[in-house]
Amino acid sequence: MRIIMLSAFIMIFTSIVFAKGISIDPEELEAFIDGVMTEQLVAYEIPGVSVSIVMDGKLIFSKGYGYADLDRLIPVTPDSTLFRIGSISKIFVWTSVMQLVEQGKLDLHSDVNVYLDNFSIPSTFPEPVTLANLLTHTPGFEEQEFGVFVSDSSEIAPLGEYLAENIPARVRPPGKLSSYSNYGTALAAYIVEQVSGMPFDRYVAVNILEPLEMNMSSFVQPPPGQESRLSTGYVTGGGIVSPQAFEWVQAYPAGSMSSTADEMANFMIAHLNNGGFHDIRILEEATAIDMHTPHFNVDPRVNGWTWGFMQLNMGTDSLIWHGGDTYFFHSAMFLIPDRNIGIFASYNCPAGAKARIDLVKAFLAHYSPLPPPSYPVPFDGLGNAGRCAGSYLDIRTNRTTPERLMTLLNPVEVKSMGNHSLEYAGNCWIEIEPLIFRNTASPELLVFRESGEGGIETMIRGNNPTTAYQKLSWIDSPGFHRNAIIFCLLLFASFVIFWPAGFILKLLRKKKDRRTGERLTGILVWLMSLLNILFIFNLNRMVTTQGFGFGLPAGLKTLLNLTFIEPVIAAVIIFMLVFAWKNSYWTAVARIHCTVTAAAFLFMVWWMNYWNLLGYS
């Protein structure tokens, strides 16, 4: 349930700064959205989408496009088709927390362990993890995808049991950097359970969904009695549309909710009205205002977090939003409090990740056109582009399990283009102040921070409060690891190919190895070379961009259980090579070839340990 962010977000929302008010005619709005969606359905091969827009406390537009079920030709309808809203579910968790805070049952700044009976968060650092940290995604947890999804309902464990058995490592002090956490959200929901005495899904139903007339919406998987209303999730591309099975979410408070566009409109209205909906309240006004107020920014010049919403600030306009991503559904909810406007859209295929942004961009560009951005002017002084260039690690990553391998698939590279300019994420960035670079195509900023020793330590991207980026040394960079493995593969392949060729040549010449040790050493190095080749290729095949949401693939578990062989046999080979050199086995070139290959085995031991693969089970 990862959040996808694009630099276009800043461009989208700067238009609001220039709008003194937005006047919308419902008929014209429908014609406009119809045009946008007609184009999207074709361009992105989208089976179905549901949209709702609210303004001034009213639903001014809602409509479904395409199909909820292509096989049965069931169309999407905004009032009855249920979509999986992914991580927008988190806002219901945070709203629940704030309800209990205003009742005096929870304290945002107390150690979360105060509310936990059956397990506790380790005291890795002097500072405890608090609910305030969870709401702003700053508890300092490593990323952990293992088991967020499961393949079948029978695999879903009770929430408390799942949380107790899957506590992520604390890798940084709380409150320092933001790193989006599904575990942290699920933990907050469990605390709601503990304090209220009600299962979390029931708590939300009673205290949020029923008051807001969200009668079909539910965290229960699938919503009881509503299975026929659920949209199917699809994978599309190249003209092929593949229906997918229902997605079972283990960490269910973080992303299992199903809802309709019309019912999500009620939720948006309640938040835009600072907790009020018709004649009821889900939050007191002061609590809602506090929830919508920014509470954490890594740097004052970049966007941060309110209590649960991501912030987009432009001038006096405060914009808050949240996205939602499962594997097959992608949604977004944007609230513009100063204009009392809310926009919700949910798509039933992966292409919705981009399409949802294009929809909001088109809406705001149509009703409040964006002036052309000015080109950034470099500051007058010695530039820092060279210091800032290099490899970076998205800190929303794993440190202690094989999930760490995912960083190899998503390298973050920043390149210098001169004293004052950088290339990053396909854009050019100009240094406008020391260590602050602006996108040439939008007002978005990159902010770099120095370590205590004066080197560059961290990069923060202005429109992405879900993570920061840590600068890496050469030995930690993905490029080094990829190139080293390629070199090892070539070395192993050369041994696998050339040593049998040499053996055949000896047979043709009727020559024999002089010693048993000579033969055994060659055979052992050949077998280990072949096994390493097979290991690397199978590891590459099993580690995909889909990640480890369903846990380790069965084949990968088997591979990792066999990694203990590497250090044992590598040690044996090194021992045997001592005799190879002492007794002059083979030619000098062959001994060097064999020795370098054995050194690669030792490197593989280090590499497997680095990526938490060695003997992992």
Does residue 44 share a domain with residue 179? Answer: yes
Q: What is the pLDDT of residue 216?
A: 97
What residue type is 125 in one-letter code?
Answer: F
40 pLDDT above the threshold of 60:
yes
One-character DSSP codes across 520-548: HHHHHHHHHHHHHHHHHHHHHHH--TTTT
Q: How many domains does the chain have?
A: 3
Contacts of 226 (CB under 8 A, 6+ apart): 82, 216, 218, 258
For the segment 550-592, what is each residue's pLDDT rounded down to a tens digit? 877 777 888 888 888 999 999 999 999 998 999 888 889 989 9
Please indicate, yes or no, if residue 377 is contained in any of the structural domains. Answer: no
Q: What is the pLDDT of residue 544?
A: 75
Does residue 141 share a domain with residue 233? Answer: yes
One-character DSSP codes across 109-150: TSBGGGG-SS------SSSPPBHHHHHTT-S-BPP--TTSEE
For the segment 299-340, what is each residue's pLDDT rounded down to a tens digit? 988 999 999 999 876 444 567 999 999 999 999 999 989 889
Q: Are 231 and 82 in contact (CB under 8 A)?
A: yes
| DSSP strands (E only) in 129-199 | 149-150
Q: Are 68 and 307 in contact (CB under 8 A)?
A: no
The Cα 505–Cα 495 span in angstroms is 15
Q: What is the pLDDT of residue 9?
A: 39
The Cα 463–Cα 445 span in angstroms is 8
Residue 569: CA atoms inside 13 Å, Cβ hemisphere, count? 22
Q: What is the pLDDT of residue 557?
A: 81
Which residue has better confidence, 599 or 367?
A: 599
- Cα-flanking dihedrals φ and ψ of residue 126, to 5°? -60, -35
- Of 29-38, 66-75, 142-151, 262-271, the one with minimum mean pLDDT is 142-151
Does residue 82 share a domain with residue 220? Answer: yes
- Is the alpha carbon torsion for 244, 246, 251, 257 positive or negative? positive
257 pLDDT above the threshold of 80:
yes
- Is the alpha carbon torsion for 256, 87, 407, 140 positive or negative? negative
Q: What is the pLDDT of residue 510?
A: 60
Residue 596 burial (CB count, 10 A)? 12
Q: What is the pLDDT of residue 318?
A: 65
Q: Are 437 and 431 in contact (CB under 8 A)?
A: yes
Cis peptide before 222 (omega within 30 of 0): yes
Does residue 351 share a domain with residue 237? Answer: yes
Q: What is the pLDDT of residue 511?
A: 61
Task: Give the residue from 32, 61, 66, 73 showing the smallest Cα distance to 49.
Answer: 66
Please indicate, yes or no, if residue 588 is contained in any of the structural domains. Answer: yes
87's tokens: 């991580």
Average pLDDT in the chain: 91
Per-residue confidence band for 513, with pLDDT thresholds at 50, 70 and 90: low
Does residue 221 share a domain with residue 72? Answer: yes
Does residue 515 share a domain with residue 456? Answer: no
| Model pTM score | 0.91
Of 416, 445, 472, the one marking the end of a domain is: 472
441 pLDDT above the threshold of 90:
no
Q: What is the pLDDT of residue 47?
A: 97
611's tokens: 């990526």
168's tokens: 């992520």
- Of 18-22, 39-43, 202-206, 379-383, the one with minimum mean pLDDT is 18-22
The Cα 162–Cα 270 span in angstroms is 32
Residue 238 burial (CB count, 10 A)? 6
373 pLDDT above the threshold of 80:
no
Does residue 125 share a domain with residue 257? Answer: yes
Please indicate, yes or no, if residue 615 is contained in any of the structural domains. Answer: no
The Cα 187–Cα 166 span in angstroms is 11
Which residue has better confidence, 265 or 444?
A: 265
One-character DSSP codes across 305-321: BSSSSEEEEETTEEEEE
Query: What CATH number is given to the structural domain containing 207?
Result: 3.40.710.10
The Cα 214–Cα 10 span in angstroms is 32
431's tokens: 């240094």
Q: What is the pLDDT of residue 16?
A: 37
Does residue 216 share a domain with residue 323? Answer: yes
The Cα 611–Cα 204 span in angstroms is 40
The Cα 419–Cα 386 span in angstroms is 7
Does residue 354 share a domain with residue 217? Answer: yes
The Cα 324–Cα 264 span in angstroms is 13
Residue 132 burial (CB count, 10 A)? 20
Residue-wise burial string across 227-236, b where 16 or more C-beta atoms lie within 10 A, e elsewhere: eebbbbbbbb
Which residue has better confidence, 18 or 367?
A: 367
Please indicate, yes or no, if residue 350 is contained in any of the structural domains. Answer: yes
Does residue 564 share a domain with residue 423? Answer: no
For the segment 137-194, what is each residue's pLDDT rounded down to a tens digit? 999 999 988 889 998 999 999 999 999 999 999 999 999 999 999 999 999 999 999 9
Does residue 170 share a domain with residue 35? Answer: yes
Residue 129 burial (CB count, 10 A)? 25
| DSSP strands (E only) in 442-569 | 445-450, 456-461, 469-471
242 pLDDT above the threshold of 90:
yes
Q: What is the pLDDT of residue 506?
A: 63
**Taking the mean position of all CA atoms in its chain, how far away is CA 510?**
61
Contacts 24+ apart (CB under 8 A), 591-595: 593/494, 593/495, 593/498, 594/495, 594/521, 594/522, 594/525
Please indicate, yes or no, if residue 380 is contained in any of the structural domains. Answer: no
Please indicate, yes or no, if residue 378 is contained in any of the structural domains. Answer: no
The Cα 246–Cα 96 span in angstroms is 26
Q: What is the pLDDT of residue 316?
A: 42
H or E, element range at 50? strand 48-55
What is the span of the domain harbouring residue 86? Answer: 8-367
One-character DSSP codes across 563-582: TTHHHHHHHHHHHHHHHHHH
Per-residue confidence band for 13, with pLDDT thresholds at 50, 70 and 90: very low
For the segment 342-363, what is each residue's pLDDT rounded down to a tens digit? 999 999 999 999 999 899 888 8
Per-residue confidence band for 12, with pLDDT thresholds at 50, 70 and 90: very low
Of 472, 488, 513, the one marking the end of a domain is: 472
H or E, element range at 430? strand 427-433
Please indicate, yes or no, if residue 450 is contained in any of the structural domains. Answer: yes
Does residue 487 share a domain with residue 467? Answer: no
Of 446, 472, 498, the one marking the end of a domain is: 472
Please indicate, yes or no, if residue 526 is contained in any of the structural domains. Answer: yes
* Rounded average pLDDT over 206-213: 98
Q: What is the pLDDT of residue 311?
A: 85
